[in-house]
Structure 1
Amino acid sequence: MNVNFEYYRIFYYVAKYSNFTKAARVLNNSQPNITRAMNCLEHEANCTLFIRTNRGVHLTPEGERLYTRISAAMIQLQLAEEELSDSVGLEHGSISIGASETALNIYLLDRLKKFHMTYPGVRLKICNHSTPQAIRSVRSGEIDFAVVTTPTKLDAPLKEIRLKPFQEILVGGKTFTALASQELSFKDLKEYPFISLGTETATYHFYYQLFLAHGVELVPDTEAATTDQVLPLVKSELGLAFLPEAMAKEAIRKHEITKMMLKEEIPKRYVCMVYDSKRPMSVAAQKLKKILLEQVAM
């Protein structure tokens, strides 16, 4: 048989909906055309595929066998169309991300490199945000999602996925080398100049609450706009500061700064992804999300 493929496509929808009129509506065609096409298919197949009733149509045993094969083929064709659409989207797409300095440095950069090498046609826009700013941008739809650090304060439909834990340490410049042999408490830190991020950041609020929990109010002598600014300030002897261990490690190795001992334990924080669960992501954003979630224990 040399049957017109379009007849099989129409057959699939008629069988799926058990109705000529519904199939015509889905195919943006007329009911008489659909009926005519099915009559032609039955003629060329030399068998009856449908039993017509006042309530619609039902498949004959021969129709059931044909539908099993046709439906499998249609599913494969639909998947192929979706893959082709995805491929086109990843050649010309774009992604807008909000990222805090810490999240960018200790987690996001390596993943962005991998994504860019795999999908070089996708344009990336990275917005340098504090965690609260990034959350507001996700909520307003200005960015696809955010990669920031805890603590976060989210309301539905925003959701958070923790990507990586990180530990912060207390550091000081070379002038604090002698002090490094002592074990300091949070109360002791009142006696020394202290560097912190600005009050609008999640890091400031984290440490403000941590200091309060130990009976001390955090009153920084120097405020930095970003985490990247803290390390140079510490090197310049402006005071003590908390930094992610990964960002301080190289400077400690080179003896540019000193790690201080602290009596109290600093709770772990997390790099996390924040997204709007009710807003569909573009194909490109979904691919980047998949890379970000690799090796994450869900």
Structure 2
Amino acid sequence: MPANFEYYKIFYYVAKYKNITQAANVLMSSQPSVTRSIQNLEHELNCRLFIRSRRGVSLTPEGELLFQHIAPACEHILKGEEELESALDLHGGTVYIGATETGLHCFLLERLKLFHQKYPGVHIKILNNSTPQAVADLLAGKTELAVTTTPADIGKHLKSTRVQSFHDVLVAGKAFSDLKDKSFHLKDLKHLPIIGLSKGTMTYAFYEQLFLSHGLELKTDIELATSDLMLPVIKHDLGIGFVPEALAKPALESGEIIEIKLEDSIPERHICILRDLQRPLSVAARQLLKMLK
């Protein structure tokens, strides 16, 4: 059928207002132009769509049938245009972010607060996952940006930008308070119950490599799926564990946990922003990325 969308859009407004002049005003067109478009549409569809009268126009049975289908289609398209315009002006839209626990609490949340204050109409959806899952979600197109920590095994299509460094500290619950004023080497920890993230996580790989560099094997007594479980488990005196200093600080200051001093240094780690270079960013995601760097 050769009729184009513009004809159907004009048909929609004339049928909606039952008045050619009013439809022309809404369309910012002229009455003759609207009349001509309706005539062209009737010619192409080979049927009469409107009955003209002094009071305006009314739909023929054929026009009623067509309007039942055209109305919802036009309204969806017009709604889409409206939402797109709103998103482009950052008055709407959604940005999808993947974030690890450390990336979320040590970096992202404060920046999201500023972003939300500046663009309150933009919806924010956060997927809180491990680094491997955050990378997988980014590659699958489920998120536009990911905030992760090093080390990270990323694909060649992903761009990684380091935005903040952090250090881990070794901490324990109050039941281990006798260790507070002592210093330890990594080799001394084999006699203590170690809490760590499960194999397959980047944090586990980081500490496995750290222990190997000192000729040691990392053996954890309790394995956790996600890093948000570390502090609660440590606070309940189930063992010792490595936690980002920024996350441990409140509990250290309140006395809920203690820091165990290590003679062996723990290498610095970084929080990174990842994006897929093969996928375009939404306007909201581009603006957020600017604020994160």
Q: CA deviation at 1:203?
A: 0.8
Q: CA deviation at 1:187?
A: 1.0
State how far apart, in whole Å, the 1-side matches of 2:138 and 2:127 are: 11
Quote the RMSD (CA, aligned, Å). Answer: 1.5
Q: CA deviation at 1:191?
A: 0.5
Q: Note the residue ranges of structure 1 that are not aligned, 5 or more in a row.
A: 1-83, 294-298
Residue equivalent to 2:172: 172
Q: CA deviation at 1:225?
A: 2.3
More displaced stretch, 221-230 vs 139-148 = 221-230
Contact 1:147 1:274 in 2 (8 A): yes
Q: CA deviation at 1:85?
A: 5.4
Alignment of 1:48-67 (within 5 A): none
Opposite residue 182 of structure 1, the aligned amino acid is K
Contact 1:251 1:257 in 2 (8 A): yes
Alignment of 1:250-265 (within 5 A): 250-265=250-265
Contact 2:88 2:283 in 1 (8 A): no
State how far apart, in whole Å, the 2-side matches of 1:150 and 1:94 are: 27
1:287 aligns with 2:267: no
Give SS of 1:274's match: strand
State how far apart, in whole Å, the 2-side matches of 1:220 and 1:237 are: 15
Residue equivalent to 1:101: 101
Q: CA deviation at 1:254?
A: 1.2
Provide TM-score, normalisation by structure 2.
0.69
Residue equivalent to 1:27: none
Q: CA deviation at 1:145?
A: 1.3
Alignment of 1:69-148 (within 5 A): 88-148=88-148
For residues 113-141 of structure 1, the C-alpha deviation after alignment (integer angstroms, 9 at most, x for no partner) is: 11111111111110011101111111121
State how far apart, in whole Å, the 2-side matches of 1:262 and 1:171 are: 10
Query: Is the alpha carbon distance of 1:86 and 1:157 closer, same or farther for their aligned partners in structure 2, counting shifts above 3 Å?
Result: farther
State how far apart, in whole Å, the 2-side matches of 1:198 and 1:96 are: 26
Identity in percent: 47
Query: Is the alpha carbon distance of 1:86 and 1:165 closer, same or farther for their aligned partners in structure 2, counting shifts above 3 Å?
Result: farther
Q: CA deviation at 1:87?
A: 6.4
More displaced stretch, 196-205 vs 267-276 = 196-205
Give SS of 2:205's match: helix
Between the two proteins, the alignment pairs up a number of residues equal to: 210
Residue equivalent to 2:268: 268
State how far apart, in whole Å, the 1-side matches of 2:213 and 2:86 are: 50
State how far apart, in whole Å, the 2-side matches of 1:116 and 1:244 are: 26
State how far apart, in whole Å, the 2-side matches of 1:204 and 1:136 are: 18
Give SS of 1:181's match: coil
Residue equivalent to 1:61: none
State how far apart, in whole Å, the 1-side matches of 2:122 and 2:186 are: 47
State how far apart, in whole Å, the 2-side matches of 1:242 and 1:211 are: 13
State how far apart, in whole Å, the 2-side matches of 1:129 and 1:228 are: 10
For residues 211-262 of structure 1, the C-alpha deviation after alignment (integer angstroms, 9 at most, x for no partner) is: 1111121121112222221111111110010001111111111111110110
Give SS of 2:275's match: strand
Give SS of 1:92's match: coil
Provide TM-score, normalisation by structure 1.
0.68
Residue equivalent to 1:152: 152
State how far apart, in whole Å, the 1-side matches of 2:87 and 2:93 are: 10
Opposite residue 91 of structure 1, the aligned amino acid is H
Q: Note the residue ranges of structure 2 that are not aligned, 5 or more in a row.
A: 1-83
